[in-house]
Structure 1
């Protein structure tokens, strides 16, 4: 239930923006005025247990609430025509289409088409279809960017590892060349590294970098 941590961080961010926008002094002695929060999460998955509330103390601190407690009300949608139930239905259709078509424009368009046919958020989708498509495709792009960033960091790690391996090989070669009588300057040229690095390797004080 990491969602409760994300909600807490979002609440702190929202309060911080409110304090700044109302020009209150958070370091002064006067009590700050902040909006009273009501925290909700809409659950769109399938689960046997359906708790009405999720609580920070229960999810992370074995029920201990001596110093901090956050309560978040869980909304499920009860199969009625209210906006929450329709949102839950929309999300379920969307998840089904992503399984069929992947995170593609086709999945988004099919989700909108099916929901219109089923009268799920139909008025909203009819009036803001282009906006919904742009938002959902933007989310796809954001997820892809995060995934690519992670892959790039992994590749950077592999590249650094290979580079260190090559330097280790050059260090061994430099030591062997010196033993064969080659000058340090010649070794540096052959291995394409700096003279100072060769000198450090040979003196035994080098740190591969």
Structure 2
């Protein structure tokens, strides 16, 4: 079950999950690389390998997107961020070290021998979907956290904002703006999900992706909307009745809200049969 005792532990919002989904598809990952490195005219889709850290929904060390270019030439990590924080660079550094650890393990590179290890050159990016304001083009660990003293390490994250072009990064930021507008108008509802997709297609924002995967994108958004709904119920239940008696009541509230049994089962990590039994019991009462 989603951690009742851990308020604020749900990582993904709908936009973030769409980000991970779209750039797990090679042709869109290829478009991202072209936007980051338009000077590289020889790159092909097969030159890109996804190395995104994987985890479950609850907090852990995992990132939005990581990929290698031409095997081991370049390692690119990209985060999508809607809220500004200097801590972005700390998270990026953590993701980088964990991705390197996976890389060394996969390639059986020994770090305790005499030979110098080979490693891909890193590039760190954050796609910032909010207003640019006075935020910098590059976040520096040393400048942000150790500006008045010497520091033995440095890391830099390039920040990407909404620009004038129509590359896939600008399209994704545009999608996020539409997402926020429609959630403000309709709440986290099926109507909002449908409107987000319709408006973005009309504006040619991720149109090909949204058309190809319309049902999947709707499912992603609705599942996350449901999870947020459940989390709010859980939080309310913690405050009013305690954890021990909370789960069945939460399930009953979800059933009363006409959420599907399959979705409820996935969210609370229970068999479909148990959810159905709770529903039958409600019908008898």
Interval containing the TM-score (normalised by the shorter chain): 0.5 to 0.7
Q: Which residue of 2 aligns with 1:26?
A: 111
**Range with greater deviation from structure 2 (9-18 or 101-110):** 101-110
1:8 aligns with 2:93: yes
CA distance in 2, matches of 1:158, 1:120: 43
Choose which of 137, 146, 153 in structure 2 pairs with 1:52: 137
CA distance in 2, matches of 1:62, 1:157: 46
1:95-110 equivalences under 5 Å are 95-110=180-195
1:80 aligns with 2:165: yes
Q: Which residue of 2 aligns with 1:93?
A: 178
2:237/2:243 contact within 8 Å kept: no
1:25-174 equivalences under 5 Å are 25-62=110-147, 64=149, 66-140=151-225
Question: Could you state the TM-score of these two structures normalised by the residue count of structure 2?
Answer: 0.48
Q: Which has the higher contact order (CA 8 A, sep 6+)?
A: 2
| Aligned pairs, number | 159
- CA deviations over 1:7-57 (Å, ceiling 9, x no partner): 111111111111111112233333222221111111111142141111112
- Considering fraction of residues, name the structure with more helix: 1
CA distance in 2, matches of 1:16, 1:156: 44
- Considering fraction of residues, name the structure with more strand: 2
From the superposition, tell whether residues 50 and 100 of structure 1 become closer, same or farther in structure 2 (CA, over 3 Å): same
1:101 offset after TM fit, Å?
A: 2.2
1:58 offset after TM fit, Å?
A: 2.1
CA distance in 1, matches of 2:196, 2:215: 13
Q: Which structure has the larger Rg?
A: 1
1:111 offset after TM fit, Å?
A: 0.8
From the superposition, tell whether residues 31 and 138 of structure 1 become closer, same or farther in structure 2 (CA, over 3 Å): farther
1:4 offset after TM fit, Å?
A: 1.5
From the superposition, tell whether residues 16 and 120 of structure 1 become closer, same or farther in structure 2 (CA, over 3 Å): same
**Range with greater deviation from structure 2 (136-145 or 72-81):** 136-145
1:57/1:69 contact within 8 Å kept: yes
1:58/1:64 contact within 8 Å kept: no
Consecutive unaligned residues in structure 1, runs of 5 or more: 160-209
SS at match of 2:159: strand
Kindly report the root-mean-square deviation, in angstroms, between the aligned alpha carbons of the 2 structures.
Answer: 2.9
SS at match of 2:122: coil
Question: Could you state the TM-score of these two structures normalised by the residue count of structure 1?
Answer: 0.64
SS at match of 2:218: helix
